Amino acid sequence: MNFTISRQRLSRYSLGLVAACFAAGAIAADSPDYKQRNFKLGHVIADDHPAALGAKRWQELLAERSDGKIKVRIHGNGSIGGDAQMTSAVQGGVQELGIITSSPIASVVREIGLLDLPFTFNTAEEVDAVLAGKVGDAIAEKMNANGMVVVGWMENGFRSITNSRSPITKFEDMQGLKIRVLQNPVYIETFNTLGANAVPMPFPEVYTALESRAVDGQENPLGTTNTSKFNEVQKYLSLTRHTYTPYVVVVSKRVWDKLTADEQTLLKETAMEASEYQRKVSRESEARFLAELKERGMEVNQLSEQESNRMREKLQPVIDKFSKDLGGDLGAEMMAEINEVRGTSN
């Protein structure tokens, strides 16, 4: 057998090898720069809550699109702390990722408290416009400056009141009730103004406080009331829809700054996709959550439009005060964005 290779064949072989090397180099240059990463993601809600499903979706997308290099371990049910504790952990880089209720973050970024103004949002579409507009961008910039990079917004939802004593059909029915509220001055002043005794408390402590009657009631979206099984320790659900709160999807800036540009892009894109999925699931689930709470024995009443208007009038001084104190021109911008949606929906 003749193993002699002609000069012409050798030349062609060498050129082909060089071309192959260049092609491989081009492919490598075009390949995303993902490193092996292990991230901790925390949230406070139950595993069957829409926000927990959003966290799972984000985890799956990151693993899939990084070929398994970016691994996320989810810590739910407040197992690594409440929202305020997780905010500090994300700022310090101890916790890489978080899906955090917006309201407690107001202790760090006060402008986010604008979202908590009572009876300000009527629809989810109004919320979406604000979060996707100048106000959402301004809040994200403030959070970035305080150690948290906003990569998405998930839905917590419109909040209603539960209690163990009697139905709430007007704000006078709250007189003297001890109501657990978020650790946020807007909520504290809102419920005190309505005649209740507001008790700020981290979410992981709420069920036990209700069970022991340390507090009479709490206020949360239907998804949280349902998946946290508050029906076991609360009899009455009053559909007040007094405020709306989102979840902020964040990455620790200390971690973010160490990521490659490709990893940052991947985190943003997958968080936005998971957030869109989560909001859809949340909105589609609301009727089911309410039906299940009724089936489990909760007595449900709808606050009338007249009483909603009375409640809002009672709270107007609170709205005016915090709209000015928290955002100034940003508060006016938020109302402009809301009114634009209302104008186009008429």
Q: Does residue 18 carry a pLDDT above 50?
A: no
Domains defined along the chain, listed by start: 34-345 (3.40.190.170)
C-alpha to C-alpha distance for 5 and 182, rounded to whole angstroms: 80
Triad 8, 11, 14: Cα angle to 5°: 150
Q: Does residue 4 carry a pLDDT above 90?
A: no
Q: Which tokens sit at 127?
A: 């919320």
User: According to the model, what pLDDT value does residue 28 have?
Assistant: 45
Q: Does residue 5 carry a pLDDT above 60?
A: no
Name the strand (E) or helix (H) holding 218.
strand 217-221
List of E strands, 43-141 = 70-75, 97-101
User: According to the model, what pLDDT value does residue 25 have?
Assistant: 45
According to the 3-state scheme, what is the secondary structure of 285-345?
HHHHHHHHHHHCCCEEEECCHHHHHHHHHHHHHHHHHHHHHHCCHHHHHHHHHHHHHHHHH
User: According to the model, what pLDDT value does residue 327 have?
Assistant: 75
> What is the model's pTM?
0.88
